[in-house]
A and B are shown apart, each in its own frame.
Chain A
């Protein structure tokens, strides 16, 4: 594969920015590190979400399900396996689960997929809760020596991995096929693209990454319960951040994650009961004001500047 100068520039810039971000734990207070973890967490989730939902326009609400599965992988596995095995293992489980979900629903219209993924987290949560009632256990303790900074670095590494993977997919035949599917599925099918297989393959990416993220974050919770690991709010927040930023570009979701995280923190600190209202308003803003997200705004502005320069 041949890389242009612009490609190298992009790669180098991303690496430098990640390097700068990696210095955060060395410089700041615990509060900012917590914010940093939150931002890195949602960056991984929202970017991998957008990899699938951007080109295909399927809205997945399964993030919480995969995340919870990852959390439980660490929770159940930590006593038997060394920690470093667990996130990759969670990734495999997440990808397998995503493949199953994809096989069941991705042949059908988008509405079925939304409902299916919306129910998935609740379904797994009820099963685990029931399993706990039957076996008489409550939550699980995850006691490790992993600190907030370690989690932060792992998440940054994951973010880098998501970007790299997204960039590679964009350049591959799969990425090309997905763009055609996104434009017109009928056309894609007629030109010999196996649409269902392409969608299932791609859906495994957010599944795996959300599960790995859950596995990485488990030590932070210390005590894991179903209601905590499978919180449905997570799925919605990820959707909003990704769409707010814009799914058309690889860097789009981050642009949504950062402001929304601060907004969310601000609202939960001042009026904690109104975060639901904030979510609702954010959805409406996305549909009516920012259908292409911040990315759309930025690109419109850039186009306007270019045009102005052209005429001058």
Chain B
């Protein structure tokens, strides 16, 4: 029972992070390997504001999200937009995007190392225990989970009920046809990319309340988010949430039953299984 609740709580936060990547890869069609660094940057912001002025990480989010949105918008405009224009095929764009975002991720790590140093950082916020369903859990994990659920829910509604949301889903499904019905694909792709960055940074700020991070942990989160997105199906919000919860459960299970050092190995095995048996994702339909 302990394992299940802890796993679900962790999975909720993972869902938020993976949702950010899904917006970037599924909707804007940019495989952003610098995603984890955006998370760490969000976490750093929360850490720093908490240390400097005792600002609650949940208030930091209000500041971090717009900043991350602007930053990712700029990244898309400066680095990725030209690649989209230059690419002759989807494959070419993929290779270029992978190399560019790897580059950006290393640059980000380099800058963060220079500014904050290589130490692990953590702070204690809301770290009193809360009794729930016969077990006790950290209030910070619970609060992060609730916030993640709220944000995921809002995103889901926005994507499925609003007009811009519908346009974004349209460019995800058929970018060429979307242009024919008067959708500004370039602008919306930038919007989706920036929004994805903002969501990831928010996830970072939330996760920093209960996990210890350092400047170079970003890549681990990128990997986890990728596994979740692919497992849930690229561009599929529902699938992402389910996959994130599954990963959270699996990691918690492996960490408590076998060895905490094997969490990534477990995630990786899950990924391999998915690749072998359902490469289209849990809910994806088979395409050619």
Q: How far is the CA of A127 from the CA of B262 in the complex (A)?
A: 7
Interface of chain B: mostly helix, strand, loop or mixed: helix
B261 contacts chain A at the CB level, 8 A cutoff: yes
Contacts A276-B113, A284-B100 hold; do A116 and B275 have CB atoms under 8 A apart? yes
Assess whether B98 is in contact with A130, with CB atoms less than 8 Å apart.
no
Contacts of B96 in A (CB 8 A): 287
Assess whether A115 is in contact with B223, with CB atoms less than 8 Å apart.
yes
Distance in angstroms from B150 CB to nearest chain A CB is 29
Q: How far is the CA of A133 from the CA of B102 in the complex (A)?
A: 32
A122 contacts chain B at the CB level, 8 A cutoff: yes
Assess whether B226 is in contact with A115, with CB atoms less than 8 Å apart.
yes
Contacts A277-B107, A283-B99 hold; do A115 and B271 have CB atoms under 8 A apart? yes
B130 contacts chain A at the CB level, 8 A cutoff: no
Contacts of A118 in B (CB 8 A): 219, 223
Contacts of B131 in A (CB 8 A): none
Assess whether A279 is in contact with B106, with CB atoms less than 8 Å apart.
yes
Assess whether A111 is in contact with B98, with CB atoms less than 8 Å apart.
yes
Assess whether B102 is in contact with A110, with CB atoms less than 8 Å apart.
no
Assess whether A243 is in contact with B271, with CB atoms less than 8 Å apart.
no
Contacts of B272 in A (CB 8 A): 104, 116
Contacts A104-B272, A104-B276, A119-B268 hold; do A274 and B223 have CB atoms under 8 A apart? no
Contacts of A306 in B (CB 8 A): none
Binary flags per residue of B237-275, CB closer than 8 Å to A gives 1, else 0 = 000000000000000000000110110110011011001
Instruction: Please tell me which one of the listed residues B31, B91, B107 contacts residue A284 in the complex, with CB atoms under 8 A apart.
Output: B107
Assess whether A130 is in contact with B275, with CB atoms less than 8 Å apart.
no
B105 contacts chain A at the CB level, 8 A cutoff: yes
A108 contacts chain B at the CB level, 8 A cutoff: yes
Assess whether B108 is in contact with A280, with CB atoms less than 8 Å apart.
yes
Q: How far is the CA of A70 from the CA of B275 in the complex (A)?
A: 26
Assess whether B100 is in contact with A276, with CB atoms less than 8 Å apart.
no
B135 contacts chain A at the CB level, 8 A cutoff: no
Query: For window 192-250 of chain B, which residues contact chain A by CB distance below 8 Å?
Result: 216, 219, 223, 226-227, 230
A255 contacts chain B at the CB level, 8 A cutoff: no
Chain B's closest residue to A108 (CB) is: B279
A109 contacts chain B at the CB level, 8 A cutoff: yes
A57 contacts chain B at the CB level, 8 A cutoff: yes
A5 contacts chain B at the CB level, 8 A cutoff: no
Instruction: Please tell me which one of the listed residues B100, B258, B275 contacts residue A108 in the complex, with CB atoms under 8 A apart.
Output: B275
Contacts of B110 in A (CB 8 A): 273-274, 276-280
Contacts of B79 in A (CB 8 A): 284
Residues of B in contact, count (CB < 8 Å): 43
Assess whether B99 is in contact with A286, with CB atoms less than 8 Å apart.
yes
Distance in angstroms from B269 CB to nearest chain A CB is 8
Assess whether A123 is in contact with B95, with CB atoms less than 8 Å apart.
no
Query: For window 61-99 of chain B, which residues contact chain A by CB distance below 8 Å?
Result: 79, 83, 91-92, 94-96, 98-99
A282 contacts chain B at the CB level, 8 A cutoff: yes
Contacts of B118 in A (CB 8 A): 273
A176 contacts chain B at the CB level, 8 A cutoff: no
Contacts A119-B271, A130-B259 hold; do A287 and B100 have CB atoms under 8 A apart? yes
Assess whether A243 is in contact with B230, with CB atoms less than 8 Å apart.
no
B4 contacts chain A at the CB level, 8 A cutoff: no
Assess whether B261 is in contact with A126, with CB atoms less than 8 Å apart.
yes
Q: How far is the CA of A125 from the CA of B226 in the complex (A)?
A: 20
Assess whether B103 is in contact with A280, with CB atoms less than 8 Å apart.
yes
B10 contacts chain A at the CB level, 8 A cutoff: no
Query: For window 84-143 of chain A, which residues contact chain B by CB distance below 8 Å?
Result: 104-105, 108-112, 114-116, 118-120, 122-123, 126-127, 129-130, 133
A198 contacts chain B at the CB level, 8 A cutoff: no
Q: How far is the CA of A161 from the CA of B228 in the complex (A)?
A: 41
B55 contacts chain A at the CB level, 8 A cutoff: no
Contacts of B91 in A (CB 8 A): 57, 109-110
Distance in angstroms from B140 CB to nearest chain A CB is 27
A59 contacts chain B at the CB level, 8 A cutoff: yes
Contacts of B102 in A (CB 8 A): 236, 280, 283
Assess whether B230 is in contact with A115, with CB atoms less than 8 Å apart.
yes
Assess whether B265 is in contact with A284, with CB atoms less than 8 Å apart.
no
Contacts of A273 in B (CB 8 A): 110, 113-114, 118
List 11 additional A-B contacts (Cβ < 8 Å) besides A112-B275, A127-B262. Answer: A104-B272, A110-B94, A126-B264, A130-B265, A273-B114, A277-B110, A280-B107, A281-B107, A283-B99, A284-B107, A287-B99
List 20 A-B pairs, Cβ < 8 Å: A57-B91, A59-B98, A104-B276, A110-B94, A115-B226, A119-B271, A122-B265, A123-B264, A127-B262, A127-B265, A130-B262, A273-B110, A276-B216, A277-B110, A277-B111, A280-B103, A280-B108, A283-B103, A284-B103, A288-B100
